[in-house]
Amino acid sequence: MARKTEKVLGYDIDLISLSGAVDFVMGKILKREGIQVVTVNPEIMAIAAKNQEYSRILRHADLVVPDGSGITLALKLKGIEQEQVPGIDLAYELIKTCRDMKYSVALIGAKEEVLQTTKKRLEAEFRGLDICFSRNGYFSNDKEEGIINQLDETDPQLVLVALGAPKQELFIKKCREKIKYAAFIGVGGSFDVWAGAVERAPEFFRVMGWEWIYRTFKQPQRIKRIYKVLPVFLFKVIIEAIRTNGIFVKKEKQ
Ligand code: UDP
């Protein structure tokens, strides 16, 4: 299946729906064609602008879904209506489909207590789900190789890595040097939400694309992270939109 993409700040973003993304990933799992999925937002773009290795990962990712409303806004400025594909929703649907297809799932990341609660809750929600491997996200660099070897031995088909960006994508890159057959996705703070340690935004905020506002309000430590990034991101995408298409030009629908 050929990807349909559009560039935002030089990176290909997939113009795909949530169900399209699930089908894409499951198709790859079925054929044992390993992939890396990145759920992109303005923060990730800011990291890529400063970190060459991370930028390369983003450029070569097999699927880049617009997780943040900043990315869908950037596309809108180019005349493209694209729905947001929140990473947490994509990961949830992938887990459900893996249960249905009897594919194994590995969970890596978050604090031990959060990880254990996530595991228990997912197993209760998706009866029969095969969680073949789980490991908390607090390990030193010298432990990485051992963890990757253990993970490989369990033959995972879907690997969810919740270490936050850029750590998770850099760790996935290392995993993929050895494990070439699995689908990897970085899921940020999703385990915290599934374990109930962090509350997800109410539906209204999600539908409006304002989940980030809610999360910032609930976790004020995010303010510094987001407000360092957002103005620069908006400035850059507006310039890009004017340069490429002329701003507010309706181009096409997804
Ligand atoms: N984390 C981890 N190991 C680390 C640093 C962070 O496992 O060395 C986990 C952390 O416990 C949290 C997640 O990574 O569960 C990062 O969550 P955050 O909300 O920062 O990610 P976002 O959703 O914003 O990408």
Instruction: Choose which residue among 140, 185, 192 to substitute to test ligand 1 binding: the one with the highest number of ligand atoms within 8 A of its C-beta.
Output: 192
Q: Give the DSSP letter of residue 102.
A: T
How many CB atoms are closer than 10 A to CB 54?
A: 19
Residue 45 above 80 pLDDT? yes
Q: Domains of the chain by range and CATH?
A: 23-198 (3.40.50)
Instruction: Choose which residue among 163, 214, 223 to substitute to test ligand 1 binding: the one with the highest number of ligand atoms within 8 A of its C-beta.
Output: 163
Q: How far is the CA of 241 from the centre of ligand 1 (A)?
A: 32
Percentage with pLDDT > 90 across the chain: 80
pLDDT at residue 209 in the model: 81
Instruction: Report the b/e string of 61-80 with b at 16+ CB within 10 A.
Output: bbbbbbbbbbbbbbbbbbbb
> Reduced to 3 states, what is the DSSP secondary structure of residue 87?
helix
pLDDT digits (tens, 9 = 90+) for 178-213: 999 999 999 999 999 999 998 888 888 888 888 888
Q: Whose CA is nearest to atom 17 of ligand 1?
A: 189
Q: What is the CA radius of gyration of the chain?
A: 18
pLDDT digits (tens, 9 = 90+) for 24-38: 999 999 999 999 999
> Distance (Å, rounded) from C-alpha 169 to C-alpha 36?
8
The structure's pTM equals 0.93
Q: Which residues line the pocket of ligand 1, CB cutoff 6 A?
A: 109-111, 137-138, 162-165, 167, 188-189, 191-192
Residue 251 above 80 pLDDT? no
Q: How far is the CA of 189 from the centre of ligand 1 (A)?
A: 5
- Give the mean pLDDT of 63-67: 97
